[in-house]
Amino acid sequence: MRICVAGAAGAFGLKHLAALANIDGVQVTAVVGSNAEKMQAFAKERNIAWGGDSLDEALAREDVDAVILCTPTQMHASQAIACLEAGKHVMVEIPMADNIEDARRLVETQARTGLVAMVGHTRRFNPSHQWIHNKIQAGELKIQQMDVQTYFFRRTNTNAMGLPRSWTDHLLWHHACHTVDLFQYQCGEAATKVQAMQGPIHPDLNIAMDMSIGMKTDSGAICTLSLSFNNDGPLGTFFRYICDKGTYIARYDDLVDGNDNPIDLSGVAVSNNGIELQDREFIAAVREGREPNSSVRQCLPAMETLDQLERVML
């Protein structure tokens, strides 16, 4: 499988390149970034056939079968649609769009082309969350509440590597998307009641820096989500699963019980790296001609819930 990675030199592009290097039968043949000269040098350093600043040029290449998009959020939907229209399978990093209309257009394009289109909802693939999901599917656990904290310190427009960012991130359409999708995926049903509040809008970034979200399913499971770009402390997302039979705390690929005892995740998956597992699913779905876990169709309900949350935001 010959893959183009767009946004290859960014924080998540580098993670995908490292993950792809661990998967047999995969070759990165093109990389795209905002600066053609830098991407040409980047490609040469890594023995990649082509590097440039034009996704259209990459899509026209015969040595590209599929694309992984690690580009700014505002480009996700249009670029994913362009990939499908060019006959390329695509995995787009979360979120698939920053509004419900574009998300629906992407889903419609995938249905029309029949190609694989997947969203990078890594939480579905982290071994920690997979362990919980397997227990739920086996009838051994039932979620009563998910309590989630998503905290960063981003009072300036910088990315995960601390470098200046050319676009503005968003707590709702990006970071809340992880938890909204995971909550509905783990519960096996959509949230039917939602509430949301946001703090003051940043004078320069023009986004809310703090947010509080609540969701409830028809079966009674609830989710409480706190998000902040103002947190000066440990960064990242912490998931507390309060279940009928035990409490579990997940942080990326690690899992402990309510008393901080580690849960053995060996045997859950072939890797302990959620991004690698996500990439493996994308590649397997293309090879097998099937719908992947975290397809754009499967993730549309999360986008619909985000749209509802935006509409009730106080």
State residue 161's pLDDT score.
61
State residue 233's pLDDT score.
85
Residues 133 and 257 reside in one and the same domain: yes
Residues 140 and 102 reside in one and the same domain: no
Residues 145 and 163 reside in one and the same domain: yes
CA distances from 301 to 106, 144, 229, 296 (A): 13, 21, 26, 10
Q: Give residue-wise pLDDT tens across range 90-107.
A: 999 999 999 999 999 999
For the chain, the first-to-last Cα distance in angstroms comes to 47
State residue 276's pLDDT score.
97
Q: Give residue-wise pLDDT tens across range 184-197.
A: 999 999 999 999 99
State residue 167's pLDDT score.
64
User: For the chain, which residues score pLDDT lower than 50?
Assistant: none
Q: Give residue-wise pLDDT tens across range 219-230.
A: 999 999 999 999
Q: Which domain holds residue 16?
A: 2-122+275-294
Residues 158 and 178 reside in one and the same domain: yes
Residues 137 and 166 reside in one and the same domain: yes
Residues 207 and 219 reside in one and the same domain: yes
Residues 252 and 129 reside in one and the same domain: yes
- Please give the tally of structural domains in the chain: 2
Residue 119 CA to residue 300 CA, distance in Å, equals 10
**CB 117, CB 89: distance < 8 Å:** yes
Residues 249 and 129 reside in one and the same domain: yes
Residue 302 CA to residue 44 CA, distance in Å, equals 39
State residue 252's pLDDT score.
86
State residue 49's pLDDT score.
98
State residue 7's pLDDT score.
96
State residue 235's pLDDT score.
83
The CATH number of whichever domain residue 154 belongs to comes to: 3.30.360.10
Residues 35 and 144 reside in one and the same domain: no
Residue 121 CA to residue 281 CA, distance in Å, equals 11
